[in-house]
Structure 1
Amino acid sequence: MSRIDSLSVRAKILSVMFFAALIRLFPLSFLLSDGRVTFVSYDSYYHMRSILYTTQHFPEHILFDSYINYPLGFDISWPPLYDMLISLVALIVGLGNPDISTIELVAALFPVVVGTLSMVPLYFVASTLFGHRVGLYSIVVFAVMPIHLMVSMFGATDHHVAEVLLSTTAFALFILSLKRGADSDVWGKLTKNGPMEFIVSPSVVFAIGAGITLAVSVLTWTGSPIFIGLFALYVPVQFALDIKSKRNSGYLLVSSCIMYLAALIFTIPFVVIMLREGYELSAAFISWFHVLYLLSMLGFTLICWIAAYIIGNKGKWWHYLFAIIFLIVIMIFGTKSLAPAFSSNIFSGIGYLLGFDDILSTISEALPLFWDQYGNFTLSSVWSGFGLFFLFAFASILLILQKEKPSKNPDMAFFVIWSAIIFFLALQQRRFMYLLSINVAVLSGYLMGQMHSWLLPEAVKEHVGKPKKVQTRPNKMPLMLVFGMLLLPGFLISTAVVSNPSVMPSDWQETLDWMKDSTPKTSYYDDPQQTPEYGILSWWDFGNWIIYRSQRPVVTNNFQPAIQETAAFFLSQNETEASNILDERNVRYIATDISMVKGKFFSIAKLAGEDYSSFFDEETIIEGSSTMTRKVENEKFKNSMLVKLHVYDGSGSGHYRLLYESNTTVTKDPEVKYVKIFEHVQGVTIRGKAQPGETVYGATTLVSNRGRQFDYYNSAVADEEGIYNLALAYSTQGDTSSTYAILPYTVIGDKSRSSKKIDVTESDVQNGEILILDLV
């Protein structure tokens, strides 16, 4: 017998968990530098903003942040438990006064710990349903599941990893409660042996544990009602199956009701403590909505049981399903009439889950599983998230439906319904793939368990007159080769995931460090109840980066406030309209990057209410005997504020000037850098006489902070009296900026060709001065 076969099941589990932790720790080698962490993705940076604040003001957490939706501020709806736990650990590790490096390191390690611990409830789900072998294979698959590594690797300080742990724990405890309840007749204990023996029965204890876990999830993730509602979708199906099988459904009533009661009792005190004025019945905040929601799920379970009790004695199982559908319709209309606010929250949540939102359709992680933002079918997200495991899951479902008879096993039926619901959610929005990772791991483990039995069958031998299955000593090499081939794609994808995580590009890092050091410091970063002096406008993806790395307020961030206004600014064809948007928001600086001009332009156009195709013309190219058509950027595209700024350095506008650009060159004709920072200024106005109707140009040559030389110009048309007003954004004298002019302005009329030189001071630009310069 090999060494691995001689190890106990516990040792095997710990070995797999240790291996999984090592993989998830791999990014530490390059994401930790000089005591600071580069975090993964976008939301991690707002978690860090919250964690830093909570650590410094424990146990307080940010309820309102004036650094978002500037200058109006934003109510933070994220439940606080995840960030508070990290802050608590940081305080313990830092002996009550941790520095920023300690806080960041703890926060970066936290998802690794939580992700590794998720294997414990996963193992219990798989082993309870299919045995220890499948449990072990499931956690092996989970260890190298790419989509889970994305949310559990070092630096991925987002709450998604906690969602996986909490939901899987709740589902595992509920499955154990169902199994123990059905096997031990927990309902009989209640009716025959009294309440004490009933309370301490394993089924009830597991149900209480599931309920407490659900309550903890309410304090961790806004979307926790998904988990709570999932059980309610299972309950009527199982009652119908019990009616069909003539099974007493007391175990189901006990497990479901005890779970909901425990969740309710545990949730109410936190609602009382954390309730906010104006959000008393909001699903987005911890509120009485969650209490009513749990009560409604409890009531629905009792109604389902009563209907099952009545119909089970007189009707058929499908009569019951029709009755439940009828009752659901009545409940929907009744709730809309009697509790419209509560009903509105539920239907808004359902619409959000199904992706019925224009903003969601522009977010990559909220796209349907098999379609990209342009509506094209794609398998890229499935392959990058699961590898071959996704195919294994489908094969396993067919095997389970055929061999395990879910209709006769309540715990198996729950797993099938749980898997179907999470798959449906992932089908609507690919962000839920990380929740589906648990189900895919179990299903893949099940398939591997079946293959183990096929390749290494157990022989039946007589032992003291009784048949007993014993393992013979066949050649295990084929099994190892097959499993190696099955696991290899997932392992290779996972290796790529942890080797190339989605992190802030170095160009953004250096730009935001420059912004923090070189722009006027804003107040109240540590007291976000009050309004700072000015705001930054960028696309929402980069808002959290700016808030945490530069410590500057933003108009929009990953919560997507003011997103339509922001999109309207970047695609505006009129400088006055664009500047009005900034003036209303008191925006001083604009940050752009090349992805906004390229990949994100589609989303910006959609949110601005523009037809994406209107920014492009079709061009026919003839090459030999073949003809092809391609889209080319038209004048509308080039005249948008985004392109004027990022590609043409503010040329064609009189109130925006380049201050800083990052090092990487992304295009050479024209030469364009990756990230740029612009200042919104009053601008100087050159006023004078020219020929009526004449176009007057003002131009100068500048050098950027990277030593790139470029030309800037703007134009104005003289009125019928020959008066022109030419707005210019750059100074030619007295500017201490790292981007500076090397020549005075040349002002020239296109008809008379009369030209003159003029210098502009920094004071002229900042104060919006008017300088007189006649051309005729």
Structure 2
Amino acid sequence: MSSETETVEDETANERSVLDIWEDWYHVPVLSVLVAFMFWVRIQARERFTSGGEILFRGNDAYYHYREIQYTVNNWPWTMPFDPYTHFPYGTTSGGQFGSLFDQIVATAALVVGMGDPSGETVRTVLLYAPAVFGTLLVFPLYYLGKHYAGRLGALFGVFVLAILPGYILDRGTVGFGDHHIAEAFFLSIALVMVVRALRVAQQEKPVYELVVDRDWEALRDPTIASVLAGVAIALYLWTWPPGIIFIGILGAFFTVSLTLDYVRGRSPDHTAFVGVVSLATVVPMLVVKTGSLSFETTTISLTQYLIAIAVAAGCAFMAWLAREFDDRDIARHYYPAVIAGGILSGAVLMAVALPDAFSLIQDNVVRVFALGSSDTGRTVGEVQAVSLDDAGSFMISQYGLTYLTAAFGLFWMAAHIALAGDDYRPDELLLVVLTVFLVLMSLTQQRFNYYLAISVVLLNAWLFGQILRLLDVPTSAKRLTDIKGYQVLTLVAVLLLVTVPLVGPLASSSASTAAAEAGNSTGPGSSAYWAESTGWLQENTPEPGTYANPDGEPMEMYETYEQTDDYDYPEGAYGVMSWWDYGHWITVQGERIPNANPFQQGPRPASEFLQTTNETRAELVLEALPSLDERDEHISDLSNDELREVIAQQSEAEAREDTRYVMIDDQMASNKFSPITRWAGPSFGDYLSTQERMITFQTAEGQAQQPANLYGMNDRFENTMLSRMYYHDSQQLSHYRLVHETRSDTTILSLAQRTEGGATRPVAINRRFTGRLANMLQRPDVGAYDIRRESTVKTFERVDGATLEGSVNASNATSVTAMVQLNGTQDQRQFTYYQSVETDENGDFTVTVPYPTEETLGPDDGYTNSSVRATGNYTVFTGSLEGVNAERIGDRHILQNLENPGQIGNADVPERAIYEGDNVTVEMEGIEENLDVNDTADNQTSDNQTADNETTDNGNTTVGDDGTGSDGASGDGNESDTALDGRFVRATTP
């Protein structure tokens, strides 16, 4: 009997110990599952970032982070002080956002993985996965914060919410997005953990001024340690992202409200003020290590960070002192808020007078971050665009599902609790309320800041869940699980469904997965994949910087340590690559060449002016004056050609040799991005649009139908821009720019029009890249396409002096003379014709400067370019103009047969060195045989329906272009217009 009793008692004891262990540790397996799920979601698309054995990244900043990380690997732990490999011809300090703590951590990880000597591939691999690691590690500070605010169950619920969110917090933390954004969120969360902990310790230990005076370190030890750790965490956040000084500004707002509430409600403000003074006093010396500027800036550690940290610390001390003065003078407490407000206003006025530059900088950044709008140029950057208040609801649902509504409910509940709690309110809850208000403003003003707002959404959902558990008195211990009631279960299930159903299951983007899982699997390298071909070509087929036209020069080293300077003195043979600023980091890192403009938004105004100018002479002047335009580039459009010549005449010898030698243009610059390009300089986008008669192609049940209509679209002014003349017209009629490479991949650019019920037509997309969305629109019978063009995705041009063809024709008056040459594109993928027409003088003498050689003998070893575009023969020079003749689509002989009275003809060979050195080439002109058979065609003549894959078609599907020509829909200006929409956008070629 006794033995049976002992057995039962032992079993009961064992059962209880298992329950006790489960109650102590149940969060560990739950967290483990959530962490594993989050990491899997964030690395699903990893294989998409490997192309041809090369590891790619998403976006452009990731590539510059790779550059910084590789430098740090080579020079650990130091980061790059100055980089002349971008923003030609000045160079740049990359600022505190690059070469930051994020880059140092990734570089250290690469050194560990590579056992002290990692290869470039190892470094790229570590950076590839780094965002997913940081995005997953975010679980731990948020779990701690959730536990602090809502207990373990509430914290687990918050982590679950984090795991299923599909918005920016996921987007910035997926594999391949090698930017510092997710590291910002991680270190901000760490800083919040430490500040919240310091506030809690201060409320428990109650440090006051008298303890400091008495040097009672025993009483001050715990709050001091906690506050110092908070300061260290804040400093680490600033080391990751110096503009995060805005967080100290938010802390300043919190301390202002909290200390005011403390005093008005009868509590000593010393406790919270102690945290503010000690933590921010700790930040200041830690800034010294990463200081990048002794002026007032925001993008690097500068006097701005010192000023704000010291100001907030001093403000905390002042408010605590003022409270004591109020008590000593027996002043009514309700006057305290007014005095504080007056003090803040007076301080702002004093700063505006004493430090106007600093005040203006802070004011501008407050407006830029909190004002619910964006500047005209800011709207050209996708991630910093404001969220329209009309679309705010749908935007928030796309980011958070319905969790943003439950978070908003939790925010109001918490704020009401603070308002009604009297002197028993919790400062840490007030911190979350104040922080959330500012983060909402930030995330609506700049979309990217939603990776910050997600922190508040997670914590408020955790807090709300904890409050519901408390109100329902739901059993949270293992021993009381049997006591749970039906209504409690139903309520909790309803809350879970409200939060999760929009993000998981049938209401999510895929019924088979969460919205997060689908979003994580939809990422990829994007445009960097097709730019990789062009930048790879650039690296292999152009001279290294320092050797252009200077083969014996010393090449500039990619990862050399360069001394910081305001205007780098480039060596002879260094050169710039002109493109839009989006692509600068790809040119630097993938191409190992020096862009004029970059994603630091350095150099966009000269780039905008160059791309928009409609005159080659001015384009040349802009590039020649560029080394002297840095301080004046904001007004570059206002400078006349004579003023540019004056700038050039005053250049130093070093400035005069700093040339831009290449221009790279892609399909986006020529379509979707052209409007943002116009916002920096020159005319507005509307000046490039006009109404003209255009031919629209509609898909019908019987096939295709065409309809003429007056529609808005790109006009002649656009066609004459340098961007269009190079990208769409392969430098026709230009003297100093030759196509040297184009990608094998093609793209279609077109406009769409829709028929209204009344039979009229209206444009619904103008000059846009052909995407899946536009393809879906074209399936509708009331939507048609017009102004269709097919071009290589990226084209690279070289700027050369050009060879001058000179000669004389028999003419009693001035007449036209045309020089033309047939060219094969990259890997002979297409054939096109370059031509240029000029007028002779009254004696019949002519000169025409051309950029293409007829023989390729030079390459990078000679200090020049190994062009992938080659001439198929020599230049044909003849009297007459090509106006109205489609020179890009037909051969030399056919062109001559279409000319009226061509008169005289000559041929010229142009050596490659002639186009680099500006040599003259004499052309001997002769009379054309009178018996030239106009029906005779050259061997390379093709039918007008020749397709890009060399498949000749004769199905009669030619279309009539805007100018009335019927040759494959091609118009006289060399553009493809209205190509048949038979499922293939055909690029007309002359093989």
Fold match, TM over 0.5? yes
In structure 2, the partner of 1:641 is: 722
More helix by share: 1
3-state DSSP class of the match of 1:550?
Answer: coil
**Inter-partner Cα distance in structure 1 for 2:181 and 2:84:** 25
In structure 2, the partner of 1:257 is: 277
In structure 2, the partner of 1:717 is: 839
- 1:584-663 map, 5 Å: 584=625, 585-619=658-692, 630-663=711-744
The one of 462, 473, 484 aligned to 1:471: 484
Change (3 A) 1:753 1:381: farther
| 8 Å Cα contact 2:736/2:851 also seen in 1 | yes
Matched, 1:746 2:897: no
Post-superposition shift, 1:451? 6.6
The one of 147, 154, 161 aligned to 2:168: 147
The one of 805, 812, 827 aligned to 1:686: 805
In structure 1, the partner of 2:603 is: 562
| 8 Å Cα contact 1:406/1:413 also seen in 2 | no
In structure 1, the partner of 2:863 is: none
Among all aligned residue pairs of Structure 1 and Structure 2, give the percentage whose two residues are the same amino acid.
24
3-state DSSP class of the match of 1:596?
Answer: coil
**Inter-partner Cα distance in structure 2 for 1:607 and 1:191:** 56
- 1:215-254 map, 5 Å: 215-254=235-274
The alignment's TM-score, normalised by the length of structure 1, stands at 0.89
Matched, 1:396 2:410: yes
Query: Higher relative contact order at CA 8 Å, sep ≥6: structure 1 or structure 2?
Result: 1
The letter of the residue matching 2:620 is S
| 8 Å Cα contact 1:729/1:765 also seen in 2 | yes
The one of 528, 539, 542 aligned to 1:516: 539
What root-mean-square deviation, in Å, do the aligned CA atoms of Structure 1 and Structure 2 show?
Answer: 3.5
**Inter-partner Cα distance in structure 1 for 2:495 and 2:135:** 28
The letter of the residue matching 2:826 is N
Deviation per CA, 1:579-623: give whole Å up to 9, x if none: 223344511211111011111111110112321100010358999
- 1:123-138 map, 5 Å: 123-138=143-158
3-state DSSP class of the match of 1:394?
Answer: helix
3-state DSSP class of the match of 2:240?
Answer: coil
**Inter-partner Cα distance in structure 2 for 1:472 and 1:315:** 54
3-state DSSP class of the match of 1:458?
Answer: coil
Change (3 A) 1:468 1:549: closer
Post-superposition shift, 1:228? 1.3
Deviation per CA, 1:140-165: give whole Å up to 9, x if none: 12123331122222222211122111
| 8 Å Cα contact 2:163/2:516 also seen in 1 | no
Matched, 1:170 2:191: yes
**Inter-partner Cα distance in structure 2 for 1:28 and 1:662:** 25
The letter of the residue matching 1:339 is L
Post-superposition shift, 1:727? 2.2
| 8 Å Cα contact 2:732/2:834 also seen in 1 | yes
The letter of the residue matching 1:361 is R
**Inter-partner Cα distance in structure 1 for 2:396 and 2:731:** 41
In structure 1, the partner of 2:452 is: 435
Matched, 1:541 2:671: no
3-state DSSP class of the match of 2:66?
Answer: helix
3-state DSSP class of the match of 2:387?
Answer: coil
In structure 2, the partner of 1:487 is: 503
Unmatched runs of 5 consecutive residues or more in structure 1: none
| 8 Å Cα contact 1:452/1:479 also seen in 2 | no
In structure 2, the partner of 1:756 is: 905
Post-superposition shift, 1:567? 0.8
In structure 2, the partner of 1:92 is: 112
- 1:70-81 map, 5 Å: 70-78=88-96, 80-81=100-101
* Further displaced range: 671-680 or 236-245: 236-245
**Inter-partner Cα distance in structure 1 for 2:350 and 2:266:** 32
Change (3 A) 1:655 1:33: closer
**Inter-partner Cα distance in structure 1 for 2:51 and 2:797:** 29
The letter of the residue matching 1:697 is T
Deviation per CA, 1:446-467: give whole Å up to 9, x if none: 455567779x863799x9xxx9
Deviation per CA, 1:599-649: give whole Å up to 9, x if none: 11111101123211000103589999x999742110111111111111111
The letter of the residue matching 2:66 is M
3-state DSSP class of the match of 2:162?
Answer: helix
Post-superposition shift, 1:383? 4.7
Post-superposition shift, 1:758? 2.0
| 8 Å Cα contact 1:147/1:386 also seen in 2 | no
3-state DSSP class of the match of 1:302?
Answer: helix
| 8 Å Cα contact 1:590/1:677 also seen in 2 | yes
Post-superposition shift, 1:257? 1.2
**Inter-partner Cα distance in structure 1 for 2:235 and 2:791:** 51
3-state DSSP class of the match of 1:711?
Answer: strand
Post-superposition shift, 1:48? 0.4
- 1:96-111 map, 5 Å: 96-111=116-131
**Inter-partner Cα distance in structure 1 for 2:183 and 2:325:** 41
| 8 Å Cα contact 1:235/1:304 also seen in 2 | no
In structure 1, the partner of 2:442 is: 425
| 8 Å Cα contact 1:41/1:502 also seen in 2 | no
In structure 2, the partner of 1:353 is: 369
The one of 728, 735, 745 aligned to 2:850: 728
Post-superposition shift, 1:194? 6.0
Change (3 A) 1:263 1:516: same
Change (3 A) 1:100 1:359: same
The letter of the residue matching 2:446 is Q
In structure 2, the partner of 1:306 is: 321
Change (3 A) 1:509 1:773: same
The letter of the residue matching 2:450 is M
Post-superposition shift, 1:256? 1.1
Post-superposition shift, 1:541? 0.8
3-state DSSP class of the match of 1:75?
Answer: coil
The alignment's TM-score, normalised by the length of structure 2, stands at 0.71
**Inter-partner Cα distance in structure 2 for 1:107 and 1:639:** 43
Post-superposition shift, 1:427? 1.8
Post-superposition shift, 1:27? 2.5
| 8 Å Cα contact 1:459/1:472 also seen in 2 | no
| 8 Å Cα contact 1:535/1:586 also seen in 2 | yes
**Inter-partner Cα distance in structure 1 for 2:105 and 2:414:** 39
**Inter-partner Cα distance in structure 2 for 1:627 and 1:731:** 42
The one of 688, 694, 704 aligned to 2:825: 704
Change (3 A) 1:138 1:47: same
**Inter-partner Cα distance in structure 2 for 1:197 and 1:548:** 55
Change (3 A) 1:280 1:131: same
* Further displaced range: 53-62 or 185-194: 185-194
**Inter-partner Cα distance in structure 1 for 2:334 and 2:482:** 41
In structure 1, the partner of 2:530 is: 507
Change (3 A) 1:180 1:643: same
* Further displaced range: 244-253 or 376-385: 376-385
Change (3 A) 1:288 1:715: same
Unmatched runs of 5 consecutive residues or more in structure 2: 1-17, 546-554, 563-568, 626-657, 699-706, 750-787, 858-865, 882-899, 928-991
Post-superposition shift, 1:701? 2.4
Deviation per CA, 1:323-346: give whole Å up to 9, x if none: 222212211222233334543443
| 8 Å Cα contact 1:189/1:197 also seen in 2 | no
When the two structures are aligned, how many residues end up with a matched partner? 760
Matched, 1:25 2:146: no
Matched, 1:195 2:216: yes
**Inter-partner Cα distance in structure 2 for 1:451 and 1:640:** 63
**Inter-partner Cα distance in structure 2 for 1:646 and 1:514:** 18
**Inter-partner Cα distance in structure 2 for 1:715 and 1:228:** 64
Matched, 1:59 2:77: yes
Matched, 1:266 2:286: yes
**Inter-partner Cα distance in structure 2 for 1:282 and 1:556:** 20
| 8 Å Cα contact 2:804/2:921 also seen in 1 | yes
Change (3 A) 1:198 1:119: farther
Post-superposition shift, 1:116? 1.9
* Further displaced range: 329-338 or 605-614: 329-338
